[in-house]
Amino acid sequence: MAFNRPAAHLPPASTRARIGLFGGSFDPPHSGHVHVASTALKHLNLDAIWWFPTPGNPLKEAPSDYDARFAAVENLTRHNRAFQVSAIEQQVGLRYTYDLVRLLRKHSPKAQFVWIMGGDSLMTFHFWKDWEKLAATVPIAVIARPGFELAARVSPFAKRLARHRRPNDAAHILAAQTAPAWTYIPAPLNPISSTAIRGQTNS
């Protein structure tokens, strides 16, 4: 059953919750994104997942209209009370994940944050601005994605931070770990991707 959610842009300043941070273009959002978020929610023992549709990804071509993508993410996640969708990046003009995480940690200093991403993002993570600072700021959970199973071993991120990797059976305590700390969760795979959906739409 759907329910009405009040507009929310940042977690409460005083919260001590375990919160997953899930950012991306979501162009368009789809069941694969829900699969990643739901897997993280379960395996990381989180209280909530906050979704952050980005106004633009410097590593990708310009995404489609922000308001349309944001509305689509809200619609996709509306049935899960643990999911919140934030427009804070658009509102304050953020472009980079590191800046978003710094803002969140400053705003909610008692929260336990985990950055969540799919295994496909792991292969390009070392191109993100200040990626090493990001990894040193917040624990990171990587959820398996089809075709990118080797990313947890061969990506520059995985090699550089190999000694900070936690076993996936300890994922439930990752939020309480001091960064750098990361884990790879080899969950059942969902094959749907935004690229494939856009290709079908444009064909």
> Please, which residues have CB within 8 angstroms of residue 124's CB and are 6 or more apart in sequence?
59
The reported pLDDT for the residue numbered 99 is: 96
* pLDDT score, position 62: 67
**In percent, how much of the chain has pLDDT > 70?**
85
From first CA to last CA, the distance across the chain in angstroms is 34
pLDDT over 90 (residue 58): no
Residue with tokens 């899930």: 22
**93 secondary structure, DSSP code:** T
- pLDDT higher for 129 or 4? 129
Using alpha carbons, select from 182, 188, 146 the residue that is nearest to residue 163: 182
Contacts of residue 110, Cβ cutoff 8 Å, sequence gap at least 6: 14, 15, 16
Average pLDDT value for residue range 59-87: 90
Triad 42, 77, 194: Cα angle to 5°:
95
Question: What digits encode the pLDDT tens for the residues 4-37?
Answer: 444 468 999 999 999 999 999 999 999 999 999 9
Q: What is the pLDDT of residue 103?
A: 95
In sequence order, which residues have a C-beta less than 8 Å from that of residue 4 and are 6 or more positions away? none
Q: Tokens 């509306």 belong to which residue?
A: 78
Across the chain, the runs of DSSP E, i.e. the strands, are 18-24, 48-53, 83-85, 112-118, 140-143, 165-166, 182-185
DSSP code of residue 146: T
Nearest C-alpha neighbor of 51 from the set 19, 95, 14, 15:
19
Q: What is the pLDDT of residue 10?
A: 94
Whether this prediction's pTM lies above 0.85 is answered by yes
